């Protein structure tokens, strides 16, 4: 896969495929993060009352 033309790979597999081919050729496309950022979380919960079972 690393010997494929990057222009053709980009047309077929989008930019992600092109980055994959470049990485296989030894070209760093994304920098690694030394320290992971603090993650923020968000949750949404819902419950529904079933009126058919109500007394």
pTM over 0.85: no
| Separation between Cα atoms, residue 1 and residue 18, nearest integer Å | 10
Q: How do residues 3-48 score in pLDDT, each as one tens digit?
A: 888 888 888 999 999 999 999 999 988 887 777 778 788 888 887 7
Phi (first) and psi of residue 13, to 5 degrees: -110, 5
What are the sequence ranges of the domains in the chain? Answer: 1-30
| Separation between Cα atoms, residue 48 and residue 45, nearest integer Å | 10
């Amino acid at each position: 896969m690393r010997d494929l033309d990057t222009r053709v790979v980009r047309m077929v597999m989008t930019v992600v495929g092109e980055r994959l081919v470049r990485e296989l050729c030894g070209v760093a496309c994304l920098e690694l993060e030394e320290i992971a950022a603090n993650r923020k979380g968000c949750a949404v919960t819902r419950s529904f009352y079933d009126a058919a079972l109500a007394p």
